[in-house]
Amino acid sequence: MTIEKFLQYIQYEVNLSPLTVKAYKRDLEQFEDFVTAHGKRRWDVASTGTADVRAWVVELSKRGVSPRSVRRKVQALRAYFRWLQREGAIAENPAADVELSKLPKQLPAMVREKNLDTLLDAPLDEADFAAVRDRLVVMMLYETGIRRAELIGLRDADVDTRAASLKVLGKRNKHRIVPFGAELGRLIDDYRHLRAAQCGPTDAFFVTAKGRGLYPSIVYNIVHDSLAQVGGGSKLSPHVLRHTFASSMLNHGAQLNSVKELLGHASLAATQVYTHVTFSELKNNYKLAHPRAQKKEVNHGS
């Protein structure tokens, strides 16, 4: 059972993203290099034990590899050995019992609503194709919570202003319908009018001035440069707008399960992180607003 067959399995049967497949390939090849560098001519998966995996983890840590990367590499091994078990090539998964240190939970970065209001309410040259498109990119990411790849993948037929909804192709090739508001609908109509004059008919929804589909770095630059104008924070990526969408929805009373569906999360656990964000925001507001919360601690023992 070769690594290549496993990679084909996770790509074509499990439908993992090309980036994930590439990362798994790199991780498995690194483990193979480690094993063969320690007295073995080749990687014999049947003779690989938990001790080999633990020794690799120690080696990675000594080399300064981050705990997050070590976790991913071991997870790649676990997935590979689990597949080998199903194929009958090995009896046990040697990576299953390798304990990994827990990672500290990092709250998603966000942009403050007032900063986005300043950006999206600013005067706009409605005759400038690029200006209208860039404003629409930011507004759509913030008002719908879709991913950058989902935005790039939008077809013109996927954007329905009459129904005020997007048909989005998400992870694992799952479609979902995402609603949007009247303001976004009007900007979409303006953009389509300018796009037709600039580029003519097109299947892709978002395009360059020459009519080609957008690619990731263009979208990143649009968002980064736009947010930088209003002091968006240290992280100015498209994904920050997705985080901000989720947190804003919860802050304004949306149900957690509804936000899960809008984001296209497979499980509620992935959405629950935003409840921590909203609670953190509440704590900050409390400390700033409540008069007793601002009082310094008093030493009652004196």
pLDDT average per 10 residues of sequence, the chain (302 residues): 87 88 93 79 82 92 89 92 91 88 72 93 96 98 96 97 95 92 96 96 96 95 94 82 92 89 90 72 61 53 46
Q: What pLDDT does 280 receive?
A: 60
Q: What pLDDT does 289 receive?
A: 63
Cβ–Cβ under 8 Å, residues 138 and 241: yes
Q: Kindly state the DSSP code that residue 207 receives in the 8-state scheme.
A: B
Distance CA 258, CA 73 (A): 33
Phi, psi angle pair for 71, to nearest 5°: -60, -45
For 3-86, CATH number? 1.10.150.130
Q: What pLDDT does 1 receive?
A: 56
Distance CA 232, CA 222 (A): 13
Q: What pLDDT does 282 receive?
A: 58
CATH 1.10.443.10 residue window(s) in the chain? 113-288
Cβ–Cβ under 8 Å, residues 70 and 60: yes
What are the DSSP E strand ranges found in the chain?
159-160, 165-169, 175-179
Cβ–Cβ under 8 Å, residues 50 and 41: no
CATH 1.10.150.130 residue window(s) in the chain? 3-86
Cβ–Cβ under 8 Å, residues 231 and 115: yes
Q: What is the pLDDT of residues 161-170, one digit of tens each?
A: 999 999 999 9
Architecture of domain 113-288: Orthogonal Bundle (1.10)
Q: What pLDDT does 145 receive?
A: 95
Please identify every residue annotated as catalytic.
147, 171, 239, 242, 265, 274
Q: What is the pLDDT of residues 123-165, one digit of tens each?
A: 999 999 999 999 999 999 999 999 999 999 999 999 999 999 9
Q: Helices 129-144 & 238-251, crossing angle to 10 degrees?
A: 50
